[in-house]
Amino acid sequence: MDTTNTSDKSGYLEEALDRVHASGPEREGWLTNHAPMVVEALAAHGQARSVHRWLDLYRDRLEDFPDRTAPVTDDNWPSALGDPRRIADWTDHFSRTLAERPWKDVLAEWWPRLLPGLYGGATHTVIRVGHAVRALEADENTPRLTELAHALGYWAARHQPVTGLAELPGATTAADALDAVPAIERGHVGFRNRLAAVRRLPVWARDVTDPDTAKARLTELVRAATHRYATHGHGEPTMLVHAATAPNAVVRALDSLPRDQWVPSLQAAWTASAAVTAMYAPAAAVAFSPPGRLTAEEVVERALAHGDEHVIKLTDTALDIGDDQALAAALRSVELSEPLA
């Protein structure tokens, strides 16, 4: 069941985004500010009246917007790409650009430039863009356009490509391909060090050339990664969420992008999901039986009551899939994660 509410006109999301935009996209030097993604997810699933209450609980994790360094321009942007010191500069650049041109034109221009670096910020960069795109598809207004500027600016500043991966034999289905991902050696601490330790990944969906097939395979990947969380999320309850939410962000952007960008988007999303799987895979699966069968609305309410940002975002993705296994994965994240105090 799809609980997405694309017709919410309450203004609560806009108010929440205005609050959030006074803060930077990170805290404590590298940790991601999840507030813009969470408030969009809550509003999308009928919980717009709860966004301010949730933000009040999260406000101690917000930091001031970073200082500006020098303007990013159409000429110098390549040298600023991937420089986290330029977050404010990049945000300014996209704010100016989005004021001058339709947002879908801007997204289409920058998507292929940014796509190779979607691993930056532990994939939260592309995830934030996916939430911003869904909000704009529902209703285009100033706070939502501002959110896209912040999201694209964050992605550009944290742009981090991954290259030199050795290819392993693939599998036919996304689920089997994820099962075939080898875990990295233990002992690596932190996302960037773990990502650097990913050396080999299976090939999957490499033969896809048709955009519609690419979209279907992407949806298959999101479903497989979401289902997998129910039995493998204990490997790292927070980080393994991104094996599902990162490719789902790409799915959300597809219909706003030119069709010739769909196939490369599939390949980038697969590499991201597989890399996260390799970085945090547990030694073995653990069976999980949810406490009874709940409706989608009940699962959303449990996620909101729990409050953890990753629980809410995985629930959001699970609701896009909509089947019982996906909802079980959302409930598993509630069980594994620490509540937002």
Query: Which residue's entry shows tokens 């500010």?
Result: 33
pLDDT tens sequence across 14-23: 999 999 999 9
Domains contained in the chain, number: 2
Interval 226-272: pLDDT, tens: 999 999 999 999 999 999 999 999 999 999 999 999 999 999 999 99
Phi, psi for 140 (deg, rounded to 5): -95, 120
Helix (H, G, I), strand (E, B) or coil at 230: helix
Same domain, 195 and 340: yes
pLDDT in tens, 183-207: 999 888 889 899 999 999 999 999 9
Map tokens 């409706």 to a residue: 295
Specify the pLDDT at position 233.
Answer: 98
Give pLDDT, residue 292: 75
Which of residues 123, 156, 189 is at a domain's end?
A: 156
Contact 104, 259 (CB under 8 A): no
Distance, in Å, from the CA atom of 42 to the CA atom of 102, rounded to the nearest integer, reads 26
Rounded Cα distance, 25 and 128, in Å: 10
Is the model's pLDDT at 74 over the cut of 50? yes
Residues 229 and 141: their CA atoms lie apart, in Å, by 35
How does pLDDT run across 270-322, given as a tens digit for each residue? 999 999 999 999 999 999 988 778 899 999 999 999 999 999 999 999 999 99
Contacts of 158 (CB under 8 A, 6+ apart): 82, 84, 87, 117, 120, 121, 125
98 and 167 part of one domain:
no
**Domain assignment of residue 146, yes or no:** yes
Please check whether residues 121 and 152 belong to one and the same domain.
yes
According to the model, what pLDDT value does residue 195 have? 94
pLDDT number for residue 8: 63
166-180 pLDDT tens trace: 999 989 999 999 999
- Asked if residue 204 and residue 144 are part of one domain, the reply reads no
Range of the domain at 218: 162-341
Predicted structure pTM score: 0.96
Confidence band, pLDDT 50/70/90 cuts, at residue 44: very high
pLDDT at 5: 54
Please tell me whether residues 142 and 175 are part of one structural domain.
Answer: no
Residues facing residue 167 across a β-bridge = 201
Q: Kindly indicate the confidence band of residue 6, based on its pLDDT and cuts at 50, 70 and 90.
A: very low
Q: What is the Cα–Cα distance from 251 to 271, expressed in whole angstroms?
A: 14
Place of tokens 């704010």: 95
Sequence letter at residue 134: R
23/137 same-domain check: yes
Tell me the pLDDT band of 4, cut-offs 50, 70 and 90: low
